[in-house]
């Protein structure tokens, strides 16, 4: 059985003319030569399915010059990375430039909605790009994209009519080219790129004429960004990192939603403070906050790597551009490089400032945890005080009965004899035996057990003193470390 019959089809999105089209094809049925040069092509695939099929994986590696390490498990489990490599032709010129990056973002579902019994999902931007230096074609492979992530990239592109139980739009074993564009466009384009306008027309028809002439309302604050396809211009073909700017904008947007999701949950917890805090809820918020901070740190490191590699690419292109390109073309390339760098800097700045907000969330969360701890400690203190008051009553009552009980025990011993007829008390001459045995036994008990209880009573005090001493030493070390930088040298 061939790979084409067993493996899932892969969706390809390409701009033909003025419209974006979507089609399905098997991994073995496409070749880069069949795509239009000087164009942008999006490919959506499932990494695990390609990884499991040797034929599909080999075809991807050959067609897009993907490194084998990309398929390793440690890349699949990573919380973020960036890599790149250049393919150099025999004449020493750059033939292609490949990049691969990964971002993961924790997003929270609306209240009351769960997926797999969880109130959160993980968004993954797992992308591989292949830029052909000769044709200026850019191929963008998006792996394992959730529907929400795919919608950020292509919007409603490729969605079949809900009332039709047919194959996906543009289903074909042959990728779209200029030759077959007309046949695909007739069946696809109207349903793909006119989705938004069709919805507007439907709404307009259902309204009175007086309402249809109203001006469109501006978007509310917090609205989602436009799909990535609408932000693509011809300039994206000049620089292989131009598409990274668009992806970084979406990553920054998703990270912003994630950080504010933590903030909103924390704020709800702050508003609903009670005498008996919900420890499970605050634990979940803390766990999510740790994950969000982790992915933010990984995103900041990843985008820093992208910026550094972009600078290396620009620097490597300068000698060749001066020799081969005209002044106006060379200036255009330089301006595009500057624009790309500024776009990356902006996303980097957004992520770093979001990290500060995430740290603020962590600090507020620690305050809530400390407040909950103190609240419970106060409740325990009040309960202990009530128990102490009750024990005090029992103690006073015992003290009231203890002397009479003690004296009754003494006089009831056989050392004393009372003659009721003569009304006479007689004390035995052996009473000294009771005194001789009781006093030494009492002293021995104090000497043996007394030091043991005194030692146990002072142990907590010593533990507290040792903990305070350790804490002071740690603070002293932190001050020394801040003065001498992040060096690993010890002050001793």
The whole-number pLDDT of residue 23 equals: 85
Over residues 38-92, the pLDDT tens digits come to: 688 999 998 888 888 888 888 888 888 888 888 888 888 999 999 999 888 777 7
> Under CATH, which number does the domain 1-198 receive?
3.30.460.20
pTM of this prediction exceeds 0.75: no
Question: What are the pLDDT digits (tens) for 267-293?
Answer: 988 888 877 778 788 888 899 999 999
What DSSP designation does 430 have? Answer: T
Q: How many residues does the chain have?
A: 492
CA distance 41 to 129: 10
Long-range contacts of 194-198 (CB under 8 A, 24+ apart): 195/155, 195/156, 195/159, 196/155, 196/156
Give me the mean pLDDT over the 425-445 stretch. 85
Query: With contact defined as beta carbons under 8 Å apart, do 244 and 97 qualify?
Result: no
Q: Is the pLDDT of residue 162 over 70?
A: no
DSSP3 helix / strand / coil % (the chain, rounded to 5): 60, 15, 25
pLDDT > 90 fraction of the chain, expressed in percent and rounded: 24
Does 360 or 424 have the greater pLDDT score?
A: 360
In the predicted model, what is the mean pLDDT of the chain? 78
For the domain covering 233-382, report its CATH number: 1.20.120
Map out the domains of the chain as residue ranges: 1-198, 233-382
In this model, does residue 177 exceed pLDDT 60? no
Helix (H) or strand (E) holding 286: helix 279-324
Most confident of 166-170, 216-220, 364-368, 370-374: 364-368
d(CA 3, CA 54) in angstroms, rounded, equals 9
Q: How far apart are CA 325 and CA 17, in angstroms?
A: 28
| Alpha carbons 100 and 312: distance in angstroms, whole number | 16
State which H helix or E strand residue 138 sits in: strand 138-143
Task: Tell me the percentage of the chain whose pLDDT exceeds 70.
Answer: 73
């Amino acid at each position: 059985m061939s790979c084409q019959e067993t493996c899932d089809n892969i969706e390809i999105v390409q701009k033909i003319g003025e419209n974006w089209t979507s089609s399905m094809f098997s991994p073995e049925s496409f070749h880069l030569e069949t795509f239009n040069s000087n164009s942008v092509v999006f490919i959506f695939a499932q990494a695990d399915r390609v990884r499991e099929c040797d034929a599909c994986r080999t075809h991807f590696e050959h067609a897009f010059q993907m490194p084998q390490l990309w398929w390793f498990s440690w890349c699949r489990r990573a919380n973020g990375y960036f890599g790149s490599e250049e393919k150099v032709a025999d004449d020493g010129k750059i033939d292609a430039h490949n990049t691969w990056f990964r971002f993961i973002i924790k997003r929270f579902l609306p209240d009351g909605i769960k997926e797999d019994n969880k109130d959160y999902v993980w968004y993954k931007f797992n992308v591989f790009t292949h830029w052909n230096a000769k044709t200026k074609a850019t191929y963008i492979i998006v792996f394992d994209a959730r529907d929400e992530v795919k919608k950020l990239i292509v919007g409603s592109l490729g969605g079949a009519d809900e009332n039709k139980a047919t194959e996906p739009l543009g289903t074909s074993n042959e990728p779209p080219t200029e030759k077959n564009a007309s046949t695909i466009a007739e069946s696809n384009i109207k349903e793909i790129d006119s989705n938004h306008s069709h919805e507007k027309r439907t709404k307009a028809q259902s309204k009175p004429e007086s309402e249809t002439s109203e001006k469109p309302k501006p978007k509310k604050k917090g609205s989602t960004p436009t799909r990535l396809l609408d932000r693509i211009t011809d300039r994206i073909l000049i620089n292989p990192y131009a598409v990274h700017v668009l992806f970084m904008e979406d990553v920054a947007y998703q990270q912003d939603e994630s950080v504010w999701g933590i903030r909103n949950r924390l704020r709800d917890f702050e508003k609903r403070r009670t005498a008996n805090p919900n420890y499970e809820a605050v634990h979940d918020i803390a766990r999510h906050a740790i994950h969000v901070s982790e992915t933010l740190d990984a995103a900041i490191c990843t985008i820093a790597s992208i910026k550094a590699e972009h600078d290396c690419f620009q620097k490597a292109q300068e000698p060749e551009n001066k020799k081969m390109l005209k002044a106006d073309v060379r200036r255009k390339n330089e301006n595009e490089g500057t624009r790309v760098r500024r776009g990356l800097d902006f996303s980097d700045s957004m992520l770093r400032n979001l990290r500060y907000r995430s740290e603020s969330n962590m600090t507020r969360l620690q305050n809530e945890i400390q407040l909950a701890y103190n609240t419970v400690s106060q409740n325990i203190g009040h309960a202990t005080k009530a128990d102490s008051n009750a024990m005090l009553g029992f103690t006073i009552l015992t003290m009231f009965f203890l002397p009479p009980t003690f004296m009754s025990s003494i006089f009831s011993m056989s050392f004393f004899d009372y003659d009721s007829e003569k009304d006479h008390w007689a004390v035995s001459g052996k009473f000294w035996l009771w005194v001789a045995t009781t006093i030494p036994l009492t002293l021995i008990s104090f000497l043996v057990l007394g030091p043991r209880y005194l030692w146990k009573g002072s142990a907590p005090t010593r533990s507290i003193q040792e903990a305070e001493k350790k804490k002071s030493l740690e603070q002293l070390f932190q001050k020394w470390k801040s003065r001498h930088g992040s060096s690993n040298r010890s002050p001793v």
